[in-house]
Amino acid sequence: MDTKILLPEDEIPRNWYNIQADLKVPLDPVLHPQTHKPVTPSDLSPIFPMELIMQEVSTTRSIPIPEEVREIYRIWRPSPLVRAARLEQFLKTPAKIFYKWEGVSPPGSHKPNTAVPQAYYNKKEGIERLATETGAGQWGSALAFATCLFGMKCTVYMVRSSYAQKPYRKSMMQAWGAECIPSPTTKTHAGAEVLKKNPDTPGSLGIAISEAVEDAATHSDTNYALGSVLNHVCLHQTVIGEETMAQLQSVDLEADVVIGCVGGGSNLAGISFPFLGEKLRGKNPDLDVIAVEPSACPSLTKGVFAYDFGDVAGLTPLLKMYTLGHDFIPPAIHAGGLRYHGDSPIVSRLVHDKLIRAVAYRQTEVFEAATTFARTEGHIIAPESAHAVKAGIDEALRCRKSGDAKTIVINMSGHGNLDLPSYDDYFSGKLSDYEYPDEYIQKSIAHLPKV
């Protein structure tokens, strides 16, 4: 079998897969933050284009990808599916390990899969600027890339701790013409309020979301773009899983285990939803899908399944999801893209219904797995992706013990070429493990909105 499984450009998916068509239990409605009644398209239209609003609520199984979007996808898609043969040999496992390599995109991650269509639909409606948040900077870089291609402006509120840890992400955004601001900032009311209470805050995705939403809502030429969590974002990412299924079929294999890291959920959704769709329709009933998160921000493993705001200031609609509480401020771990208090409502529903199982790992064991991967497969991967690798290694070691020759598929969401300071901290022994105390989580959960 070839080490790398490639697809020709004409096999880039022509449709996104919408798992809402196959859910056994429909998603709980999204609620207005003030009235607690289901939101309407008019509630969302001040910050989103209508096409994305319609995708958000659609239950149509296949949604066509515009040809203008597919044309840009051709810059890096289809991405390779790679057999991790050297890692298999190192682990002495009978398992077959594959990784879907999303680090080949210009911004170096899976995020452009949704950044490009979001910019496209906003441009069609005459929007001139997009405002967004970013944690580790992968999403901010991707949206800067996409808006550059469509001649739009872009403002990115980057979580302060990641802004300091990953300065070259800011440089990438600036290279594509975007403005990158450390969050929280005094430029918005939401940011100023946080700084008034805690001037030394490391920031969080919840705070940055508040700032970006406020920016969009107060400027008529600006809309908000989100890199994870919402249904339309997960939808766009399914090009990953659709390609992966075709690549495995080309070598007569079927996935037994599918793994992705989870912050908001789009990365896991992208790789797993097409596979889960088949399981929901009765095929591959034993498929095991694993969501991997940091023990420092354990929303799926220690959070509650409840309605909560997507941001700190309470500007967003209320989403039914696993959450640690919207005012939860996670520690400044290096996997900045996984420092979010909540999760995608669809991913949360699938975890709640036991179609996805969640695990959490500590920071040092994740970097140990990343180092093993670099020394076997050669790629230096993002700390976020390393969480999925850690879970993949553990599954492969279980196969060594049991003798099962399972096919394990890992979504490698991005490269770590701009995360080398975090590797430096690991090699110099400066990284510490942190498990968020249960009493702090309970205190945060106590502030959930009463619905």
What's the CA gap between 22 and 303, in Å, rounded?
26
Would you say residue 217 lies in a domain? no
d(CA 377, CA 387): 16
Does residue 325 lie within any of the structural domains? yes
Single-letter amino acid, residue 205: L
- What's the pLDDT tens digit per position in 1-23? 668 999 999 999 999 999 999 99
Specify the residue for token string 């996984």.
338
Q: Find how far residue 179's CA is from the centre of its chain.
A: 22
334 near 276, Cβ under 8 Å?
no
> What gap in Å lies between CA 268 and CA 276, rounded to an integer?
11
Percent of the chain past pLDDT 90, that is, above it, reads 85
The verdict on residue 362 lying in a domain is yes
Number of domains in the chain: 1
pLDDT at 60 over 80: yes
The CATH number that applies at residue 238 is 3.40.50.1100
Q: What is the mean pLDDT of residues 376-380?
A: 97
Q: Are the beta carbons of 65 and 51 closer than 8 angstroms? A: no
User: Cis before residue 437, ω within 30 degrees of 0?
Assistant: no
Closest CA to 224 of 215, 233, 232: 215
CB 238, CB 269: distance < 8 Å? yes
Whether the CB-CB separation of 426 and 399 falls below 8 Å is answered with: no
CB atoms within 10 A of CB 364: 13
What strand order describes the sheet that includes 179-183? Answer: 179-183, 153-159, 129-134, 222-224
Q: How far apart are CA 309 and CA 381, in angstroms?
A: 31
Nearest to 447 by CA among 329, 338, 344: 329
Any domain includes 6? no
State the alpha helices, DSSP H only, in 294-382. Answer: 299-302, 345-352, 363-377
Tokens of 431: 């990284």
Q: Give the range among 67-81, 113-127, 333-347, 400-414 with minimum mean pLDDT.
A: 333-347
CB 235 within 8 A of CB 118: no
Domain contains 272 = yes
Nearest of 182, 174, 233 to residue 207 by alpha carbon? 182
Domain membership of residue 283 (yes or no) is: yes
What is d(CA 300, CA 405) in angstroms, rounded to the nearest whole number? 29
Q: What is the pLDDT of residue 166?
A: 83
Residue 127: per-residue pLDDT: 98
| pLDDT at residue number 190 | 93
Least confident range of 16-20, 266-270, 286-290, 442-446: 442-446
pTM: 0.95
pLDDT digits (tens, 9 = 90+) for 84-110: 999 999 999 999 999 999 999 999 999
Give tens-digit pLDDT for 398-447: 999 999 999 999 999 999 999 998 999 999 999 888 877 788 888 888 88
Q: How far apart are the first and last CA of the chain?
A: 54
Give the range of the structural domain holding residue 74, as residue numbers without chain letter: 66-106+232-445
Tokens of 117: 């269509």
The H or E element that residue 292 is part of is strand 288-294
Question: 333 falls in which pLDDT band (50, 70, 90)?
Answer: low
Q: Is residue 219 in a domain?
A: no
The whole-number average pLDDT for the span 342-371 is: 97
**What percent of the chain clears pLDDT 70, i.e. is strictly above it?**
98
Do the domain assignments include residue 312?
yes
- Kindly report, residue by residue over 139-175, the tens digit of the pLDDT: 999 999 999 999 999 999 999 988 988 889 999 999 9
CA distance 56 to 18: 10
Closest CA to 316 of 306, 325, 326, 304: 326
E strands in 324-365: 357-361
Mean of per-residue pLDDT scores for the chain: 94
Q: Is 84 exposed, middle or buried (0-12, 13-18, 19+ CB in 10 A)?
A: buried
Token pair belonging to 254: 């079927």
Residue with the two structure tokens 């066509």: 64
Q: What pLDDT band is residue 332 in, cutting at 50, 70 and 90?
A: low
